[in-house]
Amino acid sequence: MSPPGTKYLNNASLQVYPPPSLCQDVTQYIFFIKGRQSSLQAVCDKYLNEPSGGAVDYRPRLPFVMLTFQHIARLSSGAEGFQDWGYTSEREATFWIAASDYKKHGPDELCKRVEMFIPFIYADNPWAVAGGREIYGFPKQAATIQMPGTGQGAGAFEIHTLAYRTFSPDTRAELARVLTVERADGTSLDREERERSLGEELLERLGVLRDELGQLLGFDFEIGARVVEFLFRPTLPMVFLKQLRGVGTRTDACYQAIVGAAADQIDLKSLRLVPRRFRLKVESLATQPLVEELGLELDPRGQIFIPGALQVRYDFRLNEGHLIWSGS
């Protein structure tokens, strides 16, 4: 798709390696959080529909966002010429919105045409931050991620990143905690909790999982079925806004595009429901507008209670992307 003369100039020190990305020995925790539908639509409009000038019409499919914490033990490039370079590891925390392009797909296709849009994502690996932003448009922020079971001794899930607490000439950026997810009773997610996995037994009981997930999270039967069906699809399609800030002005982008990509070769190792009550606490930071953009409904203490989670272990491949719309 590149015009003549625009071949990428590789340099081993650039920290950006070509797709596909091979992700092995992944442990992921999934939390479903209620979000305001109008706020989620405003996010889709701001980052997808309006930049494209109406070429796409993405709308959120559920009044929920997914918050995931994942540890990728082995991350490498599967591209020819890079397969023998080695591997790295990464911890990520990501907010996901399930959306469909109503302009591209008719009503009968929409249930099968759900894509995941990521408004916020944090990563502790600088190579993954650079590559995710440059190749696909992942809005990755460099961060410190804490999560149980990844060799850190952490009893809770936490995100820390450089942030402004307020906007003022005298505000100094600081390494600040963005959010915490912990057991509501204050106990840690200890080894006994992590090792209790139903594995293949649970994989054979998807109907039961659908019902349990629906009851646990307050979904109705139809929504619970759609969530489980989506989680077990052979591919996970994603959509991004890829942009580069212009060098000459304060407001212009020198490049802007809507990009699609998909994860496939998903090899599910185990899946279990974690029927424990969790507490999400979000800090007030000017440069981390999670609550406002996602429409999270916090209590007066700045927290939300989450009735449970999913824990998944799997391998997957993130493929090359493709252009959906380009402004250039």
| Per-domain residue ranges of the chain | 21-326
* 28 or 218: which leads in pLDDT: 28
Q: How buried is 270 (Cβ within 10 angstroms: 0-12 exposed, 13-18 middle, 19+ buried)?
A: middle
Mean pLDDT score across all residues of the chain: 86
pLDDT of res. 199: 45
Question: Do residues 261 and 321 touch, judged by C-beta distance below 8 A?
Answer: yes
Q: Summarize pLDDT for 39-63 with one digit per residue, the tens.
A: 999 999 999 999 999 999 999 988 8
pLDDT attached to residue 225: 58
* CA atoms within 13 A of residue 154's CA, in its CB half-sphere: 17
* pLDDT tens digits along 144-192: 999 987 666 668 999 999 999 999 999 999 999 999 999 998 887 754 4
Mean pLDDT of 6-32: 90
Of 2-16, 129-143, 276-290, give the lowest mean pLDDT range. Answer: 2-16
Distances from the Cα of 273 to the Cα of 2, 157, 208, angstroms: 45, 17, 11
Q: Among positive and negative, which fits the CA dihedral 290, 48, 131, 261?
A: positive
Q: Model confidence at 129, in pLDDT bands (50, 70, 90)? A: very high
User: Quick one: pLDDT at residue 274?
Assistant: 82
Can you name the CATH fold of 21-326?
Answer: Acetoacetate decarboxylase-like (2.40.400)
> Per-residue pLDDT for 112 more than 60?
no
